[in-house]
Chain A
Amino acid sequence: MNIVVCVKYVPATADRRFSAVDITVDRAGVEGTLCELDEHAIEEALRITEADEGEVTVVTVGPEEAADAIARGLQMGAHKGVHIVDDALHGSDAAATSLVLAAAVRRIGYDIVLCGMASTDGAMGVVPAMLAERLGVPQLTLASQVTVEGGTVTIRRESDTATEHIEASGPLVLSVTDRSNEPRYPSFKGIMAAKRKLVETWSPAELGIAPEVGPEAAGTRVSAFAARPARTGGQIVSDEGEGGVRLAEYLVAQKLV
């Protein structure tokens, strides 16, 4: 079973992300990392191939620095990496990202394409469905549990109103939530071995998709950007035995009860 895992390189911590937003014109100096939610996708891929056999390829679409996200995947145990990098990709939206990913995973070859549930910076959670649409294969998305038997994959999905058990046969797109597994930490051996693993760098042109990416091709345009006003005048009281009464009084005064 050959698995391609799509991983995203995102601004590192929450704090940095906000400061990065403050200075949207200048994202430079903001440290990045492999999206935490994509670690679950890598872990799932490793488990599936360890139980069966096959190769795990991590692929990312992103700037030079995104090579770090691939490196982390290789340290965890993925076999090889593909980095699609190009300046024209800067500012691409989910549709363009899925276009590039679709071309890349086709070229790599796959039984399963594995994704995270959402990217922690964009958090749209739409790339996996878009990828399935473009590849014309079934989607098994937002799995909290995955079972692979022969060529059939079964997932458990917590939908809005119910728990669903869903089944499909490969090739397919699978995405996993943060409840699917506990991602491993790279071992020292894994870190050393990663240095010898192959990482290929492709350009969108090589994939034959030059003009359709970047901000001009995007279907949306951001015209304004405002920080949510800070909450002011928040009233904090200390419970000296009547904290609950004070809380009740507040709710009554606000006509919330």
Chain B
Amino acid sequence: MSEILVVVDHIGGAVRKTTAELLTCARRLGEPSAVYFGAEDGLIPGQLARYGATKVYVLDDDAYRDCLVAPKAEALAHLVATRRPAAVLIPSTLEGKEVAARLSIKTDSGLVTDASDIVRGEDGAVETAKPVFGGAFTTTVSITKGTPIVTLKPNSLTPPENAGATVPIEVETVDVAVSDAAKAARIIRRESRADLGRPDLAHASIVVSGGRGTGGDFDAVEAFADCLGAAVGASRAAVDAGWYPHALQVGQTGVTVTPQLYVASGISGAIQHIAGMRSSRTVVAVNKDPDAPIFGLADFGVVGDLTSVLVQATTEIDSRRASGA
């Protein structure tokens, strides 16, 4: 069966959710081999085998950590040339998309970014679903050239666990001589973001967001989020006002989220905001303006003041839980 390369998204060895989704898609196309950038001692092969990887390539070089994008693209091009996979699947992070972009040029291959699904088309081509125009439309895009490259958005599908083979996963260390040219953009300093004790926004299954309507007070938004075990997001208006960090901005120029539940509070629903949350399964809006465009998108909406509504909802859920209801 043809080999499918899957780039592992991990933080210090801890595999992020997207990787399981990528492996699930890869199994539909062929036999998944994981590509792991990082030190082998951090790798937990079982995390990958569980979702169907039969092999993992470990690539460890300072350049992958200390330089921007280009070294990883070079390494993947080397794997494409030597292993001749039938496709390369990459997580749709900012870095992932740029790695994919460079790889597509290096290998003269078709590329689809931000796909929401990947299958084998009737004609045998790799076929993707790709939301366009802020998620208002979904296109079906086939890749017709070279080694198909796809980046997949987080939360696109629910991977079945233990779908993988029971055979032990094969670990192969690959050494690629990274060129000096690829090392030209050096990361001279990196500040990890403070851990807020909440789920990661892009991967969260519930997101509660606040906008200008919070007036800068995110207490009710955060309390409701914590009650639901949710990530907190913000509109650009709230970020621009300095109320919330940019890393938590949802929208066209921020993070794209695809949770099971998205709660927009004090957010009007500008097209650029919607672009980042339209694919949410269920949308709830709290806004004091009954004509706010966000209600046009909502499965459930409350016209009212967000602070009183969210505080009451938090209390109600807490007390239902306390009474075991």
**Residues of A in contact with B (beta carbons under 8 Å apart):** 14-15, 17-18, 21, 37, 94-95, 98, 117-118, 120-121, 123-130, 132-134, 136-142, 144, 154, 157-169, 172, 177-179, 218-228, 231, 233-239, 242-252, 254, 256-257
Contacts and interface: CB of A to CB of B under 8 A. Distances in A.
26 contacts: A123-B275, A124-B113, A130-B102, A134-B105, A139-B70, A139-B185, A140-B68, A158-B246, A159-B94, A161-B11, A165-B188, A168-B185, A168-B186, A219-B104, A219-B108, A220-B110, A220-B144, A225-B140, A237-B300, A238-B290, A238-B303, A239-B303, A243-B309, A243-B312, A244-B314, A245-B313
B261 A251 contact: yes
Interface of B: 11, 68-70, 73, 93-95, 97-98, 100-102, 104-106, 108-114, 121, 127, 131-146, 181, 184-193, 202, 206, 228, 246-247, 252-253, 260-261, 271-272, 275, 278, 282-284, 286, 290, 295-305, 308-317, 320
A223 B133 contact: no
Contacts of A117: 253
Contacts of B105: 95, 98, 130, 133-134
A236 B290 contact: yes
Contacts of B141: 220-223
A252 B317 CA distance: 8
The binding surface of chain A is classed by DSSP as mixed
Nearest to A40: B253
A237 B314 CA distance: 18
Contacts of B109: 219
Contacts of B114: 124
The binding surface of chain B is classed by DSSP as mixed
A162 B190 contact: yes
B59 to A, nearest CB: 19
Nearest to A18: B136
Given A21-B137, A118-B253, A141-B68, 9 more contacts: A21-B132, A126-B101, A160-B202, A162-B190, A165-B188, A222-B139, A228-B137, A237-B302, A239-B304
Contacts of A132: 70, 102
A121 B11 CA distance: 32
B312 A245 contact: yes
Contacts of A257: 228, 317
Contacts of A165: 187-190
Contact of B190 (A21, A164, A234, A246): A164
B312 A160 contact: no
Nearest to B319: A248
A252 B320 contact: yes
Contacts of B146: 219
Contacts of A238: 290, 302-304
Nearest to B183: A138
A170 to B, nearest CB: 10
A139 B69 contact: yes
Contacts of B190: 162-165
B300 A234 contact: yes
Contact of A161 (B131, B132, B192, B246): B192
Contact of A166 (B188, B317, B320): B188
Contacts of A136: 181
Given A159-B95, A160-B93, A226-B137, A133 B286 contact: no
B301 A234 contact: yes
Nearest to B201: A160
A178 to B, nearest CB: 5
Nearest to B314: A244
Residue of A130, A158, A169, A239 ringed by the most chain B CB atoms within 10 A: A239
B206 to A, nearest CB: 7
B8 to A, nearest CB: 14
Closest 10 CB pairs of A and B: A244-B312, A219-B110, A239-B304, A219-B145, A138-B184, A126-B101, A248-B316, A14-B271, A244-B313, A224-B140
B3 to A, nearest CB: 20
A249 to B, nearest CB: 8
Nearest to A125: B97
B284 to A, nearest CB: 7
Given A243-B308, A245-B313, A247-B309, A225 B139 contact: yes
Given A144-B246, A167-B185, A237 B139 contact: no
Nearest to B189: A165
B295 A220 contact: no
Contacts of B272: 14
A98 to B, nearest CB: 7
B40 to A, nearest CB: 21
A177 B247 CA distance: 13
A140 B295 contact: no
Given A219-B144, A234-B295, A123 B252 contact: yes
A210 to B, nearest CB: 17
B280 to A, nearest CB: 11
Nearest to B275: A123
B41 to A, nearest CB: 20
Contacts of B98: 125-126, 128-129, 139, 141
B110 A239 contact: no
B193 A243 contact: no
B261 A168 contact: no
A223 B106 CA distance: 26
A163 B193 contact: yes
